[in-house]
Amino acid sequence: MDTTGSTVIGAFTQLEDARRAVSQLHGAGFAANEVKLIPNEQDESLSSDQRTNVATSGSEHKGGIMNFFSHLFGFDDDQQATAQRSSQMNIDQDTQRYFSDQYQGKRHLVVVYSNAQRNQAISIIQSCGGLVEDRASLLYDQERMKGSTQRTSNQNLDSSQREVLRLSEEELIANKEVVQTGEVTLRKEVVTETKTIQVPVSREEIVIERHPVDGRDIAAADSTIGSESREIRIPVSEERVIVDKVVVPREEVRVSKQKVERTEEVTEDLRHEELEVNREGTVNLRGDEVTRDEDLTEEERLARRRRNKDADRSGGSRPYV
Protein backbone atom coordinates (compact mmCIF):
# COMPACT_ATOMS: atom_id res chain seq x y z
CA MET A 1 0.00 0.00 0.00
CA ASP A 2 1.18 3.54 -0.66
CA THR A 3 2.94 5.05 2.36
CA THR A 4 2.69 8.67 1.24
CA GLY A 5 -0.12 11.08 1.98
CA SER A 6 -2.05 13.06 -0.57
CA THR A 7 -1.25 16.36 1.15
CA VAL A 8 2.17 17.88 0.43
CA ILE A 9 4.02 19.58 3.30
CA GLY A 10 7.23 21.49 2.65
CA ALA A 11 9.54 22.63 5.46
CA PHE A 12 11.57 25.83 4.98
CA THR A 13 14.32 27.37 7.07
CA GLN A 14 13.68 30.82 5.55
CA LEU A 15 10.27 32.49 5.58
CA GLU A 16 10.98 34.32 2.32
CA ASP A 17 11.61 30.98 0.56
CA ALA A 18 8.30 29.68 1.89
CA ARG A 19 6.47 32.77 0.67
CA ARG A 20 8.14 32.45 -2.73
CA ALA A 21 6.95 28.84 -2.93
CA VAL A 22 3.38 29.92 -2.10
CA SER A 23 3.56 32.58 -4.83
CA GLN A 24 4.81 30.08 -7.41
CA LEU A 25 2.15 27.56 -6.41
CA HIS A 26 -0.56 30.17 -6.97
CA GLY A 27 1.06 31.08 -10.28
CA ALA A 28 0.98 27.41 -11.31
CA GLY A 29 -2.81 27.31 -10.86
CA PHE A 30 -3.23 26.15 -7.26
CA ALA A 31 -6.28 27.76 -5.66
CA ALA A 32 -6.00 29.92 -2.55
CA ASN A 33 -7.76 27.31 -0.41
CA GLU A 34 -5.32 24.63 -1.62
CA VAL A 35 -2.19 26.33 -0.24
CA LYS A 36 -1.57 27.32 3.37
CA LEU A 37 1.53 28.95 4.90
CA ILE A 38 2.34 28.10 8.53
CA PRO A 39 5.01 30.62 9.66
CA ASN A 40 7.22 30.05 12.68
CA GLU A 41 7.85 33.13 14.82
CA GLN A 42 10.96 31.50 16.33
CA ASP A 43 12.91 32.33 13.17
CA GLU A 44 15.65 34.64 14.44
CA SER A 45 16.09 36.19 10.99
CA LEU A 46 12.68 37.87 11.30
CA SER A 47 12.46 41.44 12.47
CA SER A 48 10.55 42.19 15.67
CA ASP A 49 7.58 43.50 13.66
CA GLN A 50 7.54 40.41 11.45
CA ARG A 51 7.74 38.13 14.50
CA THR A 52 4.82 39.95 16.11
CA ASN A 53 2.72 39.68 12.94
CA VAL A 54 3.45 35.95 12.66
CA ALA A 55 2.63 35.29 16.29
CA THR A 56 -0.70 37.11 16.26
CA SER A 57 -1.94 36.48 12.71
CA GLY A 58 -5.27 34.69 12.71
CA SER A 59 -5.24 34.18 16.46
CA GLU A 60 -5.60 36.06 19.72
CA HIS A 61 -2.86 33.97 21.32
CA LYS A 62 0.56 35.57 21.58
CA GLY A 63 2.47 33.08 19.46
CA GLY A 64 4.24 29.97 20.67
CA ILE A 65 3.81 26.34 19.71
CA MET A 66 0.06 26.54 20.43
CA ASN A 67 -0.32 29.17 17.74
CA PHE A 68 1.80 27.01 15.39
CA PHE A 69 -0.48 24.00 15.96
CA SER A 70 -3.58 26.17 15.60
CA HIS A 71 -2.50 27.36 12.16
CA LEU A 72 -1.47 23.86 11.14
CA PHE A 73 -4.54 21.89 12.23
CA GLY A 74 -7.04 24.73 12.25
CA PHE A 75 -8.44 24.51 15.79
CA ASP A 76 -9.09 27.30 18.31
CA ASP A 77 -6.56 28.84 20.65
CA ASP A 78 -8.79 28.88 23.75
CA GLN A 79 -7.12 25.83 25.38
CA GLN A 80 -4.66 26.00 28.25
CA ALA A 81 -1.75 24.05 26.80
CA THR A 82 -0.67 22.31 23.63
CA ALA A 83 -0.91 18.83 25.16
CA GLN A 84 -4.43 19.54 26.45
CA ARG A 85 -5.58 20.91 23.11
CA SER A 86 -3.92 18.08 21.19
CA SER A 87 -5.54 15.53 23.47
CA GLN A 88 -8.98 17.09 23.10
CA MET A 89 -8.52 17.27 19.35
CA ASN A 90 -7.44 13.60 19.38
CA ILE A 91 -4.09 14.26 17.71
CA ASP A 92 -1.79 11.25 17.69
CA GLN A 93 1.38 11.49 19.81
CA ASP A 94 3.63 10.70 16.83
CA THR A 95 2.04 13.59 14.98
CA GLN A 96 2.48 15.93 17.96
CA ARG A 97 6.12 14.90 18.33
CA TYR A 98 6.93 15.29 14.62
CA PHE A 99 5.42 18.74 14.18
CA SER A 100 6.76 19.90 17.55
CA ASP A 101 10.22 19.06 16.20
CA GLN A 102 9.44 21.14 13.13
CA TYR A 103 8.49 24.06 15.38
CA GLN A 104 11.55 23.69 17.58
CA GLY A 105 13.68 23.48 14.44
CA LYS A 106 12.41 26.96 13.47
CA ARG A 107 10.94 25.70 10.21
CA HIS A 108 8.13 27.36 8.27
CA LEU A 109 5.62 24.98 6.68
CA VAL A 110 3.77 25.18 3.38
CA VAL A 111 0.77 22.84 3.14
CA VAL A 112 -0.72 21.97 -0.26
CA TYR A 113 -4.06 20.18 -0.50
CA SER A 114 -4.03 18.82 -4.05
CA ASN A 115 -3.78 15.12 -4.77
CA ALA A 116 -4.08 15.52 -8.55
CA GLN A 117 -1.11 17.92 -8.80
CA ARG A 118 0.99 16.42 -6.00
CA ASN A 119 4.15 15.91 -8.06
CA GLN A 120 4.01 19.46 -9.40
CA ALA A 121 3.63 20.83 -5.87
CA ILE A 122 6.65 18.81 -4.68
CA SER A 123 8.74 20.09 -7.59
CA ILE A 124 7.88 23.74 -6.88
CA ILE A 125 8.54 23.41 -3.13
CA GLN A 126 11.90 21.72 -3.68
CA SER A 127 12.94 24.30 -6.29
CA CYS A 128 12.41 27.02 -3.65
CA GLY A 129 14.61 25.22 -1.12
CA GLY A 130 11.92 23.35 0.80
CA LEU A 131 12.22 19.84 2.22
CA VAL A 132 9.36 17.44 1.46
CA GLU A 133 9.04 14.33 3.64
CA ASP A 134 6.46 11.62 3.04
CA ARG A 135 6.19 11.10 6.81
CA ALA A 136 4.88 14.64 7.30
CA SER A 137 2.18 14.15 4.66
CA LEU A 138 1.21 10.76 6.05
CA LEU A 139 0.85 11.96 9.65
CA TYR A 140 -1.06 15.06 8.58
CA ASP A 141 -3.47 13.09 6.38
CA GLN A 142 -4.07 10.55 9.14
CA GLU A 143 -5.34 13.36 11.33
CA ARG A 144 -7.58 14.61 8.54
CA MET A 145 -8.98 11.12 7.89
CA LYS A 146 -10.16 10.75 11.48
CA GLY A 147 -13.17 12.84 10.53
CA SER A 148 -14.30 16.15 11.86
CA THR A 149 -16.95 14.44 14.01
CA GLN A 150 -14.22 12.99 16.25
CA ARG A 151 -12.66 16.41 16.67
CA THR A 152 -15.93 18.03 17.66
CA SER A 153 -17.11 15.25 19.98
CA ASN A 154 -16.03 17.26 23.09
CA GLN A 155 -17.70 20.47 21.96
CA ASN A 156 -21.30 21.38 22.77
CA LEU A 157 -23.25 21.89 19.55
CA ASP A 158 -26.36 24.01 19.68
CA SER A 159 -29.34 23.37 17.41
CA SER A 160 -28.07 25.78 14.75
CA GLN A 161 -24.79 23.88 14.29
CA ARG A 162 -24.36 20.95 12.00
CA GLU A 163 -22.42 17.77 12.67
CA VAL A 164 -20.20 16.71 9.79
CA LEU A 165 -19.12 13.18 8.94
CA ARG A 166 -16.53 13.20 6.20
CA LEU A 167 -16.12 10.09 4.10
CA SER A 168 -12.64 9.36 2.83
CA GLU A 169 -11.13 7.06 0.29
CA GLU A 170 -7.68 5.94 -0.67
CA GLU A 171 -6.24 6.96 -4.00
CA LEU A 172 -3.35 5.34 -5.80
CA ILE A 173 -0.39 7.66 -6.31
CA ALA A 174 2.52 6.44 -8.39
CA ASN A 175 5.99 7.78 -7.67
CA LYS A 176 9.11 6.84 -9.60
CA GLU A 177 12.69 6.39 -8.51
CA VAL A 178 15.79 5.77 -10.55
CA VAL A 179 17.66 2.56 -9.68
CA GLN A 180 20.75 1.10 -11.30
CA THR A 181 19.96 -2.12 -13.14
CA GLY A 182 23.43 -2.82 -14.50
CA GLU A 183 26.44 -1.31 -16.17
CA VAL A 184 28.51 -1.73 -19.31
CA THR A 185 32.32 -1.57 -19.25
CA LEU A 186 34.26 -0.88 -22.45
CA ARG A 187 37.99 -1.44 -22.76
CA LYS A 188 40.58 -2.20 -25.46
CA GLU A 189 42.53 -5.41 -25.61
CA VAL A 190 45.24 -6.49 -28.10
CA VAL A 191 44.49 -9.51 -30.29
CA THR A 192 47.36 -11.03 -32.34
CA GLU A 193 46.59 -12.61 -35.68
CA THR A 194 48.79 -13.86 -38.54
CA LYS A 195 48.43 -12.10 -41.84
CA THR A 196 50.01 -13.06 -45.17
CA ILE A 197 50.57 -10.66 -48.02
CA GLN A 198 52.18 -11.19 -51.46
CA VAL A 199 55.08 -8.89 -52.39
CA PRO A 200 56.61 -9.02 -55.92
CA VAL A 201 60.45 -9.06 -55.81
CA SER A 202 63.09 -9.20 -58.56
CA ARG A 203 66.64 -10.59 -58.84
CA GLU A 204 69.43 -10.51 -61.42
CA GLU A 205 70.60 -13.59 -63.23
CA ILE A 206 73.73 -14.13 -65.42
CA VAL A 207 73.08 -14.88 -69.03
CA ILE A 208 75.97 -16.48 -70.97
CA GLU A 209 75.80 -16.42 -74.70
CA ARG A 210 78.31 -18.08 -77.01
CA HIS A 211 78.83 -17.01 -80.60
CA PRO A 212 81.19 -18.68 -83.12
CA VAL A 213 84.17 -16.59 -84.41
CA ASP A 214 84.92 -16.29 -88.04
CA GLY A 215 88.27 -18.07 -88.80
CA ARG A 216 89.37 -15.28 -91.05
CA ASP A 217 89.81 -12.93 -88.10
CA ILE A 218 93.23 -14.32 -87.30
CA ALA A 219 94.65 -11.00 -86.17
CA ALA A 220 92.17 -10.81 -83.32
CA ALA A 221 93.19 -14.20 -81.98
CA ASP A 222 95.85 -14.71 -79.35
CA SER A 223 99.22 -15.61 -80.75
CA THR A 224 99.85 -18.13 -78.03
CA ILE A 225 97.37 -20.19 -76.13
CA GLY A 226 97.44 -19.45 -72.42
CA SER A 227 99.45 -16.30 -72.79
CA GLU A 228 96.63 -14.13 -71.18
CA SER A 229 94.90 -14.80 -67.85
CA ARG A 230 91.69 -12.72 -67.63
CA GLU A 231 88.62 -12.87 -65.36
CA ILE A 232 85.32 -11.08 -65.75
CA ARG A 233 83.41 -10.32 -62.49
CA ILE A 234 79.79 -9.31 -62.73
CA PRO A 235 77.95 -8.52 -59.43
CA VAL A 236 74.50 -10.05 -59.13
CA SER A 237 71.77 -8.52 -56.86
CA GLU A 238 68.22 -9.26 -55.82
CA GLU A 239 65.35 -7.62 -53.90
CA ARG A 240 64.55 -8.86 -50.44
CA VAL A 241 61.37 -8.13 -48.47
CA ILE A 242 61.80 -6.05 -45.34
CA VAL A 243 58.68 -6.14 -43.07
CA ASP A 244 57.76 -3.17 -40.90
CA LYS A 245 54.58 -2.47 -38.90
CA VAL A 246 52.81 0.87 -38.37
CA VAL A 247 49.73 1.67 -36.24
CA VAL A 248 46.81 3.17 -38.16
CA PRO A 249 43.27 3.96 -36.88
CA ARG A 250 40.81 1.23 -37.78
CA GLU A 251 37.46 2.43 -36.39
CA GLU A 252 35.82 4.58 -33.71
CA VAL A 253 33.39 3.36 -31.10
CA ARG A 254 30.93 5.93 -29.71
CA VAL A 255 28.87 5.14 -26.64
CA SER A 256 25.73 6.98 -25.51
CA LYS A 257 22.53 6.31 -23.57
CA GLN A 258 18.96 6.79 -24.68
CA LYS A 259 15.74 6.55 -22.70
CA VAL A 260 13.21 3.93 -23.74
CA GLU A 261 9.79 4.42 -22.21
CA ARG A 262 7.34 1.67 -21.46
CA THR A 263 4.13 1.46 -19.49
CA GLU A 264 3.86 -0.67 -16.38
CA GLU A 265 0.60 -1.60 -14.74
CA VAL A 266 0.46 -1.38 -10.95
CA THR A 267 -2.45 -2.97 -9.13
CA GLU A 268 -3.26 -2.21 -5.49
CA ASP A 269 -6.31 -2.67 -3.27
CA LEU A 270 -7.84 0.65 -2.23
CA ARG A 271 -10.31 1.28 0.57
CA HIS A 272 -13.04 3.87 0.79
CA GLU A 273 -15.65 4.76 3.34
CA GLU A 274 -19.34 4.58 2.54
CA LEU A 275 -22.23 6.13 4.38
CA GLU A 276 -24.59 3.84 6.25
CA VAL A 277 -27.84 5.36 7.52
CA ASN A 278 -29.68 3.53 10.28
CA ARG A 279 -33.07 4.89 11.27
CA GLU A 280 -34.69 4.25 14.61
CA GLY A 281 -38.26 5.25 15.18
CA THR A 282 -40.01 7.80 12.99
CA VAL A 283 -37.31 9.87 11.27
CA ASN A 284 -37.82 11.91 8.16
CA LEU A 285 -34.71 12.09 5.95
CA ARG A 286 -34.23 14.39 3.01
CA GLY A 287 -31.54 14.51 0.37
CA ASP A 288 -29.43 11.91 -1.38
CA GLU A 289 -27.71 10.97 1.90
CA VAL A 290 -30.40 8.33 2.34
CA THR A 291 -29.16 6.51 -0.77
CA ARG A 292 -26.34 4.11 -0.01
CA ASP A 293 -23.53 3.48 -2.47
CA GLU A 294 -24.51 -0.15 -2.91
CA ASP A 295 -27.96 0.98 -4.05
CA LEU A 296 -26.46 3.01 -6.90
CA THR A 297 -25.10 1.93 -10.25
CA GLU A 298 -21.36 2.13 -10.85
CA GLU A 299 -21.83 5.23 -12.99
CA GLU A 300 -23.89 6.92 -10.27
CA ARG A 301 -21.27 6.08 -7.61
CA LEU A 302 -18.49 7.56 -9.73
CA ALA A 303 -20.54 10.69 -10.37
CA ARG A 304 -21.19 11.08 -6.63
CA ARG A 305 -17.48 10.76 -5.81
CA ARG A 306 -16.57 13.32 -8.46
CA ARG A 307 -19.04 15.80 -6.99
CA ASN A 308 -17.60 15.24 -3.51
CA LYS A 309 -14.02 15.77 -4.73
CA ASP A 310 -15.00 18.97 -6.54
CA ALA A 311 -16.68 20.21 -3.38
CA ASP A 312 -13.59 19.42 -1.27
CA ARG A 313 -11.27 21.28 -3.64
CA SER A 314 -13.48 24.33 -3.87
CA GLY A 315 -14.00 24.47 -0.12
CA GLY A 316 -17.77 24.10 -0.41
CA SER A 317 -20.06 21.59 1.21
CA ARG A 318 -20.61 18.10 -0.13
CA PRO A 319 -23.95 17.03 -1.57
CA TYR A 320 -24.02 14.60 1.34
CA VAL A 321 -21.73 14.49 4.36
Q: What digits encode the pLDDT tens for the residues 180-239?
A: 989 989 999 999 999 999 999 999 999 999 888 776 655 555 566 766 677 888 999 999
Q: How far apart are CA 134 and CA 80, in angstroms?
A: 31
Laid out side by side, the sheet with 35-38 consists of 35-38, 108-112, 8-12, 131-132
Statement: residue 91 has pLDDT above 80:
no
Q: What digits encode the pLDDT tens for the residues 116-159?
A: 788 899 999 999 999 998 888 888 888 777 644 454 454 444 44
pLDDT grade for 62, boundaries at 50, 70 and 90? very low
pLDDT grade for 3, boundaries at 50, 70 and 90? low
Q: Report how far apart, in Å, the C-alpha atoms of 102 and of each of 4, 7, 80, 98, 200 are.
A: 19, 17, 21, 7, 89
Q: What digits encode the pLDDT tens for the residues 288-309?
A: 445 556 667 888 778 777 777 7
The residue type of 282 is T
Contact 139, 73 (CB under 8 A): no
Q: At 303, is the secondary structure helix, strand, or coil? A: helix
> pTM to 2 decimals?
0.41
Q: Would you state the pLDDT for residue 321?
A: 37
Contact 174, 4 (CB under 8 A): no
Q: How far apart are CA 128 and CA 23, in angstroms?
A: 11
pLDDT grade for 46, boundaries at 50, 70 and 90? low
Q: What rounded mean pLDDT belongs to the chain?
A: 76
Q: How far apart are the first and last CA of the chain?
A: 26
Q: Which is more confident, 226 or 4? A: 226
Q: How far apart are CA 148 and CA 140, in angstroms?
A: 14
Mean of pLDDT values over 47-54: 53
Q: How far apart are CA 203 and CA 206, in angstroms?
A: 10
